Amino acid sequence: MSPKAANGLCSECNLGQEIMLKKIADFEPIDEDRWNEELEDYRYKLESLYQLCPRCTIQVHGKLEEDKKKYSYLLDMRHKLKKVIGSTLHEAMNPYKRSARKLFFAGGTVCESLHFGSLILLFFVFLATVDFLQQDAGASLANFPKIVQDQLPSVYSSSLALNSFVLVLHLIAAFNNKPIGAFTEVSPFRE
């Protein structure tokens, strides 16, 4: 038995492991369709041929147990994520819950019109802000048509009122969007 290397194995066991890795890297299966099975059989034969000495076997088992304790939180996280993702997928695939969610975000003509109006107003506020910043910096990154450019300073000066109006539109849309049965489970037997 020779002195231990940096990985904790003696030189004889390290040599055996290197030979094993080279042989596995050079492995060619007889039947390509059974590649995994043949590789496992070949690996098992090599492991029995190049066994670790008792001291190195104890060292490897100790290291595996240490790593298992050290990284057990990753396994716990994996199981928790698996459970959460599985339940989320199950809920997403459930058509009755999906239809209840669709009812909640149904909107309607009035709600959609309010959102569209908000979008248009915010677009004009955005253009007015870009124009103001260009004038303040003395640069011209975006050229607007003359008719639009004449109106942008007045839009910018009233941007606080416009933003408040957009907030009111969103609140009206939120209260207008009252679905029927949004907080109750939709029954598959409902007529």
Which tens digits make up the pLDDT trace of 12-30?
A: 999 999 999 999 898 888 8
- Please tell me the predicted confidence (pLDDT) of residue 112: 76
181 DSSP 8-state letter: S
Where helices occur in the chain by DSSP H, the ranges are: 11-25, 35-49, 54-70, 72-93, 95-104, 109-137, 146-157, 159-176
The pLDDT tens digits for 131-164 are 889 888 888 888 888 888 888 889 889 888 888 8
Looking at the chain, how many residues does it have? 191
3 state SS of 142? coil
Residue 171 CB partners (closer than 8 Å, separation 6+): none
Q: Across residues 169-182, what is the average pLDDT?
A: 67
Report the candidate in 101, 62, 70, 124 with the shortest Cα–Cα distance to residue 184.
Answer: 101
The reported pTM is: 0.37
**Residue indicated by tokens 């042989």:** 23
Average pLDDT, the chain: 79
